[in-house]
Structure 1
Amino acid sequence: MTTTPVTLPKRDQSARLENWSRAFYRFRQSWLSVIGLAIVVALVLVALFAPFIVPHPEHVAGGTNTSARFMAPGADYWFGTNALGQDVFSLVLVGSQVSLFSGLAVVVIAIVVGGVIGAIAGYFGGWIDEILMRITDLLLTIPSLILAMAVAAALGTGVTNMIIAIAITWWPAYARLVRGEVIGKKEEQFITASKALGAGWPRILGRHILPNIMSPIIVKASLDMGFAVLTVASLGFVGIGVKAPTPEWGTLLSVARADMPDYWWTAVFPGCAIFLAVLAFNLLGDGLRDVMDPKARR
């Protein structure tokens, strides 16, 4: 008797590729979302390569040129100069590093801390859920900017302390979001099957639940990036965030407000950078929300 070898079918990748192509098609249908993505990519590239492309790196390091004080925008200084004769264009370029990467760090920390707390609360429920959610509710009752200012003032100035202060006020929103998603997912059949096979709660959360609830988290993170940049700039503006001479958009605005309106360029260009970053991340977030909306999938 001869036996015919059984060949297991290989996993077809066409379905996954088709899903990605449909998602990309939906995304590019909104030209505002495409513009937002392009601006975000440009801002990230500028932040990464800013130290290598600034025309006046000595000004970024704290150097001054009093003979070029308050020069209007022109061929030599594209964004003009400030009260110390420093090139505003160079300061804005390097300031993008602190503003964007600080905002990214805030969002990442908030996702990690809020995700862990929300996942544990949603999965176990009971008294664990009550304790964790009451702490979360307590933090949500306090205005985030006021709480961030209080924590930053207590910790002291500096980039690290500023990031910690803002992240403390942001993780409760992610905890609430993840908790709700976990409660909905843990009752589905594939989770029941995993429990029947003897999988522990770390494996169920890490391998089965969390990967299936990433879409709303990604959308919220993309929308929150703009507000994180704005909050970083706000703390720098009031003087409890990044301190001079470290260039940061909010700090540049704070220093330049004394020069308004006669030397408008010292404040307008850092303000435009903040506006552009917030607008770009919001446009990108709207596009991702349309792509990852389950009701939009066929």
Structure 2
Amino acid sequence: MTAESQIVIPARDRSSRRENWGRAFYRFRQSWLSVVGLAIVLALIVLAVAAPYIVPHPEHALGVTNTAARFQPPSAAAWFGTNELGQDIFSLVLIGSQVSLFSGLAVVVIAIVVGTTIGAIAGYFGGWIDEVLMRITDLLLTIPSLILAMAVAAALGTGVFNMIVAIAITWWPAYARLVRGEVIGKKEEQFVVAAHALGAGWVRILSRHILPNIVSPIVVKASLDMGFAILTVASLGFVGIGVKPPTPEWGTLLSGARSYMPDYWWTAVAPGMAIFLAVFAFNLLGDGLRDVLDPKARR
């Protein structure tokens, strides 16, 4: 009888996990907008990775110019037209997607790591540790994130790495607040009390028992933040304190095109639509993940 029970229990557990995944996938695909958002995000990532190999003029991303072909309108030879230097805008936008997308991803990842660490420690220990860490967090939250990112980026200097660090500094407080609240709620649960009674240290309790149970809200927030991170990266590039030419980036491409509007409208439409599409897609994906992972939305 005991042997049969040992065989049946794992099968039931696997069946339950498959059922949960099936329900989650069903809820996600019920919203066709979320599916569209996922498809666009995957397409953008694939294009960003493959961009150097599929664009017709990869040398334009290195600063090579062709003034004889400047300001050519969209055509079969140049799908998005050419800019004031005769560079193919289609090539610049696709290669620039690497900087925009992966910089946004790096910002969110750094913010999650720093914010989760600070929020988990503050929520678990409480007391003066919580007070000190949360007052620092509140101080950063009182300053508009874009203004603070611009100030930090101007102090650090231009470049992709400095831009990522500047934005991440302004991004982690929101994750710290989120994780702190979740940890405060979870640390009083019976499974945490039992782990503490068995002699588990605080690092093990946080990493093995509490944090795995609060992943859902972090994932949802990260998916929604990706679009805003990309927009912030483009904003710093637009005002001239982000990525510098000749490195293509959607914000810098849009900034260079504003001087030629509206006569040469295509120079601004392509990078502007790329920013819009990325932000729109990640917002749709975030809404879908929230419906799947938010326990309050489950029926």
TM-score (norm 1): 0.97
The residue identity in structure 1 corresponding to 2:150 is M
Q: How is 1:1-298 mapped onto 2 (pairs within 5 angstroms)?
A: 6=3, 8-9=6-7, 10-11=9-10, 12-298=13-299
The residue identity in structure 2 corresponding to 1:54 is V
The residue identity in structure 2 corresponding to 1:129 is D
Distance 1:82 1:6 in 2: 73
Deviations 1:148-179 (A, max 9, x none): 00000000000000000000000000000000
CA positional deviation for 1:295: 2.1
Distance 2:282 2:272 in 1: 16
The residue identity in structure 1 corresponding to 2:233 is V
Distance 2:2 2:127 in 1: 52
Deviations 1:47-96 (A, max 9, x none): 11101001111211111111101000000000000000000000000000
Deviations 1:89-128 (A, max 9, x none): 0000000000000000000000000000000000000000
CA positional deviation for 1:5: 7.4
The residue identity in structure 2 corresponding to 1:260 is M
Query: Any unmatched runs of 5+ in structure 1?
Result: none
Distance 1:112 1:72 in 2: 45
CA positional deviation for 1:218: 0.2
CA positional deviation for 1:296: 2.8
The residue identity in structure 2 corresponding to 1:205 is L
The residue identity in structure 2 corresponding to 1:117 is I
Does the residue aligned with 2:71 lie in a helix, a strand or coil?
A: coil
- Identity across matched positions, percent: 82
CA positional deviation for 1:142: 0.3
Distance 1:220 1:296 in 2: 15
Does the residue aligned with 1:263 lie in a helix, a strand or coil?
A: coil
The residue identity in structure 2 corresponding to 1:219 is V
With 84-93 and 55-64 compared, the bigger mean Cα shift is at 55-64
The residue identity in structure 2 corresponding to 1:123 is Y
CA RMSD of aligned residues (A): 1.0
CA positional deviation for 1:39: 0.3
CA positional deviation for 1:32: 0.5
Deviations 1:250-278 (A, max 9, x none): 00001111111100000111000000000
The residue identity in structure 2 corresponding to 1:142 is I
Does the residue aligned with 1:231 lie in a helix, a strand or coil?
A: helix
CA positional deviation for 1:202: 0.3
Distance 1:145 1:111 in 2: 18
Does the residue aligned with 1:13 lie in a helix, a strand or coil?
A: helix
Distance 2:184 2:61 in 1: 50
The residue identity in structure 2 corresponding to 1:264 is W
Deviations 1:179-212 (A, max 9, x none): 0000000000000110111111000000000000
**Structure in which a larger fraction of residues adopt helix:** 2
